[in-house]
Amino acid sequence: MTFSQHLRSLTQPIWEAQLRHPFVVGLGNGTLPEKKFKFYILQDGRFLGDLARVFAISAKKAPDADSAIRFAKLVEETLIVERALHENYGKRWNLSPRQMAQVPMAPTNYAYTRHMLHVAESGTALDATVVALPCAWIYCVVGRHLLRKGMPGKSHPYRDWLMLYASPEFAAVGRWMRMKVDAWAKSVTDSERDRLEQAFLISSRYEWMFWEMAWNEESWPV
Identified catalytic residue from 135, 140, 169, 197: 135
As a whole number of angstroms, the distance between CA 175 and CA 202 comes to 20
202 in Cβ contact with 133 (< 8 Å): no
Catalytic residue among 82, 121, 207, 217: 207
34 is an active site residue: no
Distance CA 59, CA 53 (A): 10
Is 212 catalytic? The answer is: no
Active site amino acids: 135, 207
